[in-house]
Amino acid sequence: AEGGQDTDPTDNSELALRLVVVGAVGDQSGFVGCHRIADGEAQWQVRGLEAVPVCVAADGRWIYAGDDAGRVTVYRATDGQQVWSRQVHTKLVTALVVLPGGVIASADWGGKIVLSRQRDGAELHSFQQHRDRVSDLGAWAQQNPLRLFSSGWDGTVRLWYPEQFRLVRFVQLNEPAVGMEVIDGRHIVAANPQGDLLWIDMDSAQVTRAEPSGLSYVHAMLVVPSDRLLVSDGLRHVRSLPVQHHR
pLDDT tens-digit readout, 170-193 = 999 999 999 999 999 999 999 999
**What architecture is domain 1-87?**
Beta Barrel (2.40)
User: Among candidates 184, 162, 185, 178, which has minimal Cα distance to 231?
Assistant: 178
**What are the Cα distances from residue 223, in Å, to 40, 183, 216?**
22, 7, 20
Q: Kindly give, in sequence order, each residue whose CB lies less than 8 Å from that of residue 201, ignoring residues fewer than 6 positions away.
A: 186, 187, 208
Question: Is residue 137 pLDDT above 60, yes or no?
Answer: yes
Quick: pLDDT tens for 67-121: 999 999 999 999 999 999 999 999 999 999 999 999 999 999 999 999 999 999 9
User: Among candidates 132, 120, 130, 14, which has minimal Cα distance to 62?
Assistant: 120
What CA–CA distance (Å, rounded) separates 219 from 231?
8
What CA–CA distance (Å, rounded) separates 68 from 203?
34
What CA–CA distance (Å, rounded) separates 25 from 27?
6
Share of the chain above pLDDT 90, in %: 79
What is the reported pLDDT for 225?
A: 81
The number of angstroms, rounded, from the C-alpha of 47 to the middle of its chain's C-alpha atoms is 22
DSSP 56: E
Confidence of residue 15 (pLDDT cuts 50, 70, 90): very low
The number of angstroms, rounded, from the C-alpha of 207 to the middle of its chain's C-alpha atoms is 22
pTM over 0.75: yes
Fold of 119-247: Methylamine Dehydrogenase; Chain H (2.130.10)
What CA–CA distance (Å, rounded) separates 219 from 83?
29
What is the reported pLDDT for 25?
A: 82
Contact between residue 3 and residue 20 where contact means Cβ atoms under 8 Å apart: yes
Rounded average pLDDT over 5-31: 67
What CA–CA distance (Å, rounded) separates 182 from 175?
19
Parse the chain into domains and list their residue ranges.
Answer: 1-87, 119-247
Confidence of residue 42 (pLDDT cuts 50, 70, 90): confident
Rounded average pLDDT over 3-19: 52
User: Among candidates 185, 195, 205, which has minimal Cα distance to 239?
Assistant: 195
How many other β-carbons are positioned within 10 Å of the β-carbon of residue 102?
Answer: 11
Question: Is residue 5 pLDDT above 80, yes or no?
Answer: no
Q: What is the CA radius of gyration of the chain?
A: 17
Per CATH, 1-87 and 119-247 having the same topology is answered no
